[in-house]
Amino acid sequence: MYDIVVIGAGVTGAFISRKLARFNLNVLLIDRENDVGNVTSNANSAIVHSGYDPVPGSLKAKFNVLGNKMFDQISDELDVHFYRIGSITVATSEAQLDMLKGLLERSHENGVEARILSKEELRDLEPNVSPNALGGLLAPTAGIVDPFNLVAHAVENAVDNGVVLHLDEEVIDIKDLKNHFVVKTNKASYESKVVINAAGLGCEKIARMVEDVDWHLTPRKGEYFVLDHYDLGLVNHVIFPLPSEKGKGVLVSLTSSNNYIVGPSSELVDDTEDFSTDGPTLGDVRRQATDLIPSIPFNQVIRVFSGIRPTTSRHDFIIESSKVNPNFINVAGIESPGLVSAPAIAEYVVDEIVSKLLNLEAKKSFNPCIKKYAKLNELDNKAREELIKENPEYGKIICSCEKVSLGEINDLFARSVPPHTVKAVKKRVRAGFGKCQGGFCSPYVTLIIAKHYGINPTEVKWDKDGSEILLEEVKHA
Amino acid sequence: MLNKDLVIIGGGSAGMAAAIEAKKNGVDDILILEKDSVLGGILNQCIHNGFGLTEFKEELTGPEYLQRFVKQVEELGIEYRCDALVLDVTKDKVVTYSNAEDGVVSLQAKAIVFATGCYERGAGAIQIPGDRCAGIITAGTAQKYLNIHGFLAGKRIVILGSGDIGLIMARRMTLEGAKVLCVSEIMPYSNGLNRNIAQCLTDYDIPLYLSRSVSKVVGKHGRVEKVILSAVDDKMKFIPGTEMEFECDTLLLSIGLIPYVSLLDKIKAEMSSTRGAKVNDYFETSIPGVFACGNCLHVHDVVDFVTDEGRDAGKGAAKYIKGLVEKNTTILVKPGDGISYVIPQTITNKNADSITFKFRVRRPIQNVFVTFEDNGNEIAKFVRPVLIPSEMVMLKLNQAQLAKIESGEITVSIKERK
Amino acid sequence: MSKDLTCIVCPRGCRLHIDDDLNVTGNSCPRGAQYAKDELTNPKRMITSIVRVKNRENCMASVKTSVSIPKGKIFDILKEIEKVSVNAPTHIGDVVIKDVLGTGSDIIITKEIK
């Protein structure tokens, strides 16, 4: 019998599991994907929002602001890139200037530091901003984070502290036996006293396995451009337009890896599995972005992608026990600002909800820090040289665009959340993230994965089942 | 820090030729740094024949062609390191590389030749509509999987782009058991050599559709299931109602090559419209003592010309190291009507015996003059019956013609023959 | 039966025309004329392919026909190549199949693998 089964190893499930790992509990974390953080947490703007714009009093406002304050410590403990570069919401008309004042008031209501920038101040901070820009709202606490390793390392830390992780396993039914639940997956059944539903886009489906909930989720798709490492200084902050009912709008930002990201679009869709992109939508993103920053070099685009986030009928996060059984906890609709809110949501779920259901006894051995990764690109030549002497694999570069060594890739396999796919390697160490998009390194990475797992290269997947990269080995003679 | 007279970054066709020529011109202290485990660069995977007709007057495969240069490199005792990726280069010509045996090594070079080749434009760069699933792969990557490692990345294939690697791979994959359904080219003309269309497509009854591109990739279950091609109008917009649907497992991309110049970018060498560096008549970039040649300068269609350019850059670097560079002018060379780029972008030695200019036309064109003009005054005029964008054009101005240049700028243009 | 064809002898790709009497126009060299004549009477091709290197991991050695072979025999010859594997080191010119299918062409290695 598990104390808790957490369904979903996205950013929400990851931080809830890590928080639960602080206590003497048997915790099982299940995800149907073959890697953690593989759906909504994998494809978003990767912004640690300041919390200036959610409706005061909403869960979004509360957890965004609390979560933002936690990120310095989290990024340190989990060895994740995080930079507080600040955000600027840009006004391009007199009417928008008035709206900025409203936003400033809202910031203060939410307890978020912010101030209005004059046209001149704005131009000083952001020389490439549109000549039409009349002013901005600076929120200095906003930041950018590596969303992939944020989730991977949070789960790694949870697993290192005793949480059991089952990937590639889909929950197909939950039986509420009143004193406990039976969580049935496509592979096994598990008994658990408490179930936490953090299944992202799948939350409503999972919730309806135990209760006819009064809320529903609508998938909302956002399409993005990613630009190559380009001259630093295109933008120095996260640049937002004024928010609308559709969300925060198309932003232009530096990323934690010194790329630039432009997006997202925002369209309600029916299909949670349709991650396609299309020309007209991206064209629209491009137009909106160039309204803010006219000189975006779109010839430096190396990738486009789309993410799908769950919007709720309540227009706010849903974080509550089920009405039919308080031991079933829904953590649903964690759309933007979900990434920044997740650590604070985890605190709340465990301290305020789980604590009333289970006896929480602190685990003495809990270590909030993961073992630091060797990141050769952050070392000076001398330190790099020393590492190569210890392990020559650090001297063999596999991905020449992002300068990722064989040693760094092989290190991943020794961790508690090792990658199984080419995409998972890409997310962890950025092999294939550069200008050639894996053109040169993907054959190496494919063969490295095959060798590590002792499988034929034709079995290596790009991502999910059915995404094998190679179809046939030729010439068996 | 170690000193080196000449560091050559990239041990492919251009880099090896540059090294050999520099050595022959009296530079002894040379190091070639190659990121792969063997010399030869991309030719290692170009196992088809057709190389060496200019260079050796015989037809060789890629590996045979490269081996002739490896042999020279070894016979001349030119030092090289494989599995050695250059991590950093400075404007002052300090080159830092890493390799498993040597660790991290920084070298102070007197001159550097960039011969880093090019990379393939991918699906993201042109924003192919539809799913981003497995089975969308660039032709060169599929070539590496097949020719080096023995794996087919696809069995039923649609090829987008009629670049030469795509055409070559259409044949290669057909020969090794795959079915290539078609090649689709967005332009109204092919971007590959005519010879490759004949021997790679026509021979195997593979249709080539012009003015057509991928309007949607369908692959919701992990891998490509379907590719839809639509005709495009003259503004490159899809024309509704022209869809052709192909059930397939792979979309192979041959949609362009881009000079691989991150490090030249980093040291702020001036860049040209080829996305490679601007060079002068010594193949020197805007940074003194830093040279560039081969596909990292502009993408070539014939390797023999890469070799030739490598030699020129090696010669330039040797002159630089020995203090023999003669610079007596600064004449900008501009692409005029009908021309997309010209190399070199600057002439610095008007007294040269001759200077070869390399360029490409913007669209296929017949029966034209190529003119070199200085403020409207004709310096030279060449008749050409056919010019196509996929074939690089080389024209030489001799000393007498160079002497006619009076201003600081000449323009190379295409003019109709009346 | 006259024919228009693209010469594949070299990368130049001349547009050739050959008439019923085997007169060739459009060629830039004698090899082009010969190619057009062969193409009408007995089309031939060089083939390049790969063979597995057994004592190396995921490693192939490239091979070619030592001379052009009849176009109609391409796939039969590939089936013969399929049956062969080698061990490294390999050297350019190593013969892996002698006189393949009686065509007079050997299948030879084109790559040095240490």
Tokens standing for B119? 């990379």
Of B35, B10, B8, the residue nearest B22 (C-alpha)? B8
Name the neighbours of B, counting chains with at least 3 Cβ pairs within 8 A: A, C
Per CATH, the number for A1-83+144-216+313-372 is 3.50.50.60
**Are A461 and B127 a contacting pair at CB < 8 A?**
no
Which domain does C21 fall in, by range? 3-41
Q: Which of B87, B106, B127 to mutate to test the interface with A (most CBs of A within 10 A)?
A: B127
Contact B67 C92 (CB under 8 A): yes
Parts of chain B with a pLDDT under 70: none
Q: How far is C65 from chain A (nearest CA, A)?
A: 17
Q: Do C11 and B50 touch (CB under 8 A)?
A: yes
Q: Do A392 and B146 touch (CB under 8 A)?
A: no
- pTM for the structure as a whole: 0.95
What per-residue confidence (pLDDT) applies to A476? 78
Burial B139-176 (b: 16+ CB within 10 A, else e): bbbbbbbbbbbbbbbbebbbbbbbbbbbbbbbbbbbbb
Is C64 found in the same domain as C104?
A: yes
Residues C30 and C63 in one domain: no
User: Given phi > 0 = left and psi -120 to 50 = alpha, else beta, which region is B119?
Assistant: beta
Chains adjacent to A (≥3 CB pairs closer than 8 angstroms): B, C
| Whether the predicted pLDDT of C1 surpasses 80 | no
Confidence class of residue A273 from pLDDT cuts 50, 70 and 90? confident
User: Tell me, what's the ipTM?
Assistant: 0.95
Question: Could you state, in order of their start, the residue ranges of all structural domains in chain B?
Answer: 2-119+258-325, 122-255, 333-416
Of the options 2.60.40.10, 2.60.40.2550, 3.40.630.70, 3.40.50.150, the CATH number for the domain spanning B333-416? 2.60.40.10
Shortest distance between the Cα of B397 and any Cα of chain C, in A, equals 22
pLDDT above 90: percentage of residues in chain A: 95
Catalytic residue among A49, A153, A237, A420: A49
CA B106 to chain A, closest CA, distance in angstroms equals 9
Name every residue whose Cβ is closer than 8 Å to that of residue A105 and which is 6 or more positions away in sequence: none
Given A385, A393, A465, which is nearest B222 (Cβ)? A465
Helix H or strand E encompassing B244: strand B244-247
Strands A143-145 and B409-416, bridge-based pairing: unpaired
**How many C-beta atoms surround the C-beta of residue A32 within 10 A?**
21
CA angle at C77 for the pair B58 and C101, rounded to the nearest 5° = 95
CATH number of B122-255: 3.50.50.60
Q: What is the pLDDT of residues B135-173, one digit of tens each?
A: 999 999 999 999 999 999 999 999 999 989 999 999 999
Tell me: do C32 and C54 sit in the same domain. no
The model's pLDDT over A183-232, given as tens digits with 9 standing for 90+, comes to 999 999 999 999 999 999 999 999 999 999 999 999 999 999 999 987 77
Q: How far apart are CA A156 and CA A418, in angstroms?
A: 9
Q: Which residue has the higher pLDDT, C47 or B191?
A: C47
Q: How high does pLDDT run on average in chain A?
A: 96
Question: Quick count: other Cβ atoms within 10 Å of Cβ A368?
Answer: 14
Determine the Cα–Cα distance for residues A81 and B123; give it in Å rounded to an integer.
Answer: 28
Q: Is the dihedral of CA C62, C66, C68, C70 positive or negative?
A: negative
> Is C58 found in the same domain as C83?
yes
Measure Cα distances from B297 to B34, B342, B345 in Å.
17, 11, 11
Interface contact B223-A464, CB threshold 8 A: no
- Chain B residues in contact with C46 by the CB 8 A cut-off are 49, 59
| Chain C residues near residue A472 by CB distance under 8 angstroms | none
pLDDT in tens, A397-432: 999 999 999 999 999 999 999 999 999 999 999 999
pLDDT in tens, A366-403: 999 999 999 999 999 999 999 999 999 999 999 999 99
pLDDT of residue A477: 59
Contact: A475, C51; criterion CB under 8 Å: yes
CA distance A88 to B184: 44
Q: In terms of residues, how long is chain B?
A: 418
Cα dihedral B31, B35, B40, B46, rounded to 10, equals -170
CATH topology of domain A376-459: Arc Repressor Mutant, subunit A (1.10.10)
Q: Considering CB atoms only, which of B134, B151, B249 is closest to A463?
A: B134
User: End-to-end alpha-carbon separation of chain A, Å?
Assistant: 52
Structurally, what CATH architecture does the domain formed by A84-143+217-309 represent?
2-Layer Sandwich (3.30)
pLDDT category of residue C7 using cuts at 50, 70 and 90: confident
Chain C residues with at least one Cβ partner in A under 8 Å: 50-52, 57-58, 60, 82-85
Residue A135, phi-psi category: left (phi > 0), alpha (psi -120 to 50), beta (remainder): left
Same-fold call for B2-119+258-325 versus B122-255: yes
Total domain count, chain C = 2
pLDDT of A160-190, one tens digit each?
999 999 999 999 999 999 999 999 999 999 9
pLDDT category at C8 given cuts 50, 70, 90 is: confident
Q: Does A347 lie at the interface with B, CB-CB under 8 angstroms?
A: no
Pair (C56, C32) in one structural domain: no
Q: What is the mean pLDDT of chain B?
A: 95
Query: Are residues C54 and C76 part of one domain?
Result: yes
Tell me how far apart the alpha carbons of residues A50 and A337 are, in angstroms, rounded to a whole number: 9
Amino acid at A372: K
Residues C34 and C63 reside in one and the same domain = no
- The answer for residues whose C-beta is within 8 angstroms of residue B234's C-beta and 6 or more apart is none
Which residue from A389, A393, A439 is facing B103, i.e. has the nearest CB?
Answer: A389
| pLDDT above 80: residue A72 | yes
Which distant-in-sequence residues (6+ apart) come within 8 Å of A32 by Cβ?
Answer: A168, A169, A170, A171, A202
pLDDT digits over C34-46, tens only?
A: 989 988 888 999 9
Report CA torsion sign: B14, B18, B20, B24: positive
Q: For A76-98, write each residue's pLDDT tens digit.
A: 999 999 999 999 999 999 999 99
CA distances for A352 relative to A178, A330, A349, angstroms? 21, 14, 6
Task: Using CB atoms, list chains with 3+ pairs below 8 Å to chain C.
Answer: A, B
- Tens of pLDDT, residue by residue over A128-152, are 999 999 999 999 999 999 999 999 9
Query: 3-state DSSP call for residue B416?
Result: strand
Q: How far, in Å, CA of B16 to CA of B31, rounded?
A: 10
Active site residue A49: yes
The pLDDT of residue A247 is 74
Average pLDDT estimate for A314-327: 97
Take residue C44 and report the two structure tokens written for it. Answer: 């031939």
Q: Is A388 on the interface with B (CB under 8 A)?
A: yes
Interstrand relation of A189-197 and A328-332 (parallel, antiparallel or unpaired): parallel
What is the signed CA dihedral for B256, B260, B264, B268, rounded to 10 degrees?
Answer: 40
Dist CA B367 CA A443 (whole Å): 45
The fold for domain B2-119+258-325 equals FAD/NAD(P)-binding domain (3.50.50)
Asked if C17 has any chain B CB less than 8 Å from its own CB, the reply is no
Interchain contact C28–B (C-beta under 8 A): no
Q: Does a structural domain hold residue C114?
A: no
Closest CA to B157 of A471, A154, C49: A471
Cross-chain Cβ contact B195/C5 below 8 Å: no
Average pLDDT over residues A43-55: 95
All residues of chain B having their beta carbon less than 8 Å from the beta carbon of residue A436 are 119-120, 122, 260
- Identify whether C13 is part of a domain: yes
**B1 touching chain A per CB within 8 A:** no
Give Cα separations from B5 to B22, B99, B408 (angstroms).
10, 20, 33
Residue B302's closest chain C neighbor by CA?
C11
CA dist A402 to A86, A284, A429, B282, Å? 26, 30, 9, 31
Contact B214, B229 (CB under 8 A): yes
- Enumerate the domain spans of chain A: 1-83+144-216+313-372, 84-143+217-309, 376-459
